[in-house]
Amino acid sequence: MASTYTQKLPLITSLIFCIIVSVSSRGAVYTPPEVERLTDKFSRVPVNQGYNVFFGGHNIHMTNNGSNADLILDKSSGSGLASKNKFYHGFFNAALKLPSGFTSGVVIAFYLSNAGDFPKNHDEIDFELLGHVKRRDWVLQTNLYGNGSVRTGREEKVYLWFDPTTGFHDYSILWNNHHIVFLVDNIPVREVVNSKAISPVYPSKTMSVYLTIWDGSEWATHGGKYAVDYKYAPFIVSMNDAEVEGCIQQSNVATPCSRKPSSLDPVDGEEFAKLSEKQAAGMDWARRKHMFYAYCKDTSRYKVMPPECNA
């Protein structure tokens, strides 16, 4: 019996070592704090009820009678969905499962934009999930701009505290006249308050909601150092239901909803005007533990910081 155990000991030790390396390659494991679940306050709808094909239709596969969707990037094309409606303010959520394996250069974007309507001065609010090099985690980048100020990047980057390839996780944007909040599994990772300093570039025009997967080889992974390797294709992001609730644009009215709380604008009321204590604590946790880049601290990029960085 002892002899058998001794023979198996190297194998057991090897397995334990592999497990430790696997865990440590993702860094320390953190349990997020409890926060209010904004995703429970809004209705989830089937993907095909909230979205139309934006591009790459042959690489979009609706499943479960249209409740879910797989978006594919391969050598022929990426793919994308666009919301059926345009919104002025709202709460927008995508439950996503990301592709695993070698995904350098792959970009998955969940965002709001009106570039089609305002090509020279458009607004945008972005979640961008950037593929990784071997054994590195996916990077979550947030950004926003208004009135076409694309030359002034307002990016922040965090590592996720979970493996986004093994199950579905919620990526949410809350946008109203008070602030913009980026949330991951209901944990705020960033808040942009609509202050006097940032108001000139605060998104203020109706936007559509998009989910896309595409080739970002030129910039996405270490500034374009690692391109998409299509021998690992297809790369598939799965979307499990959606939440697209807000003030829907009527006709060609630029700002169709009252800036005061109203039934037309479900996220502009007092409940959504500022973070709760739990949400603020959750955001502090996420930023202390997981954020590794903030544009307001990038003195090599900006000789003169954007005004909101000094506010």
Give the model's pLDDT for residue 252. 60
Tell the residue number behind the tokens 């709001």, with chain if given: 112
pLDDT at 168 over 70: yes
Residue 12 pLDDT greater than 60, yes or no: no
The mean per-residue pLDDT over the stretch 60-74 comes to 97
Is 156 labeled as catalytic in the residue annotation?
A: no
pLDDT band of 30, cuts 50, 70, 90: confident
199-211: per-residue pLDDT in tens?
Answer: 999 999 999 999 9
Share of the chain above pLDDT 90, in %: 69
Would you state the pLDDT for residue 126? 97
Residue 209: strand pairing partners: 112
The amino acid at residue 135 is R
Q: Is the pLDDT of residue 150 over 90?
A: no
Q: Which pLDDT does position 264 carry in this prediction?
A: 59
Q: Which of 34, 36, 124, 277 is catalytic?
A: 124
pLDDT of the residue at 253: 58
Whether residue 124 lies in the annotated active site: yes
pLDDT of amino acid 144: 96
Over residues 84-102, the pLDDT tens digits come to 999 989 999 999 999 998 8
CA dist 311 → 196, 249, 275, 301, 302 (Å): 9, 33, 19, 19, 16
Q: Report all structural domains of the chain as residue ranges with CATH numbers, in order of start.
A: 36-310 (2.60.120.200)
pLDDT confidence of 5, banded at 50, 70, 90?
very low
Q: Choose, from 34, 128, 277, 308, the residue flagged as catalytic.
A: 128
Work out the pLDDT band at 2, boundaries 50, 70, 90.
very low
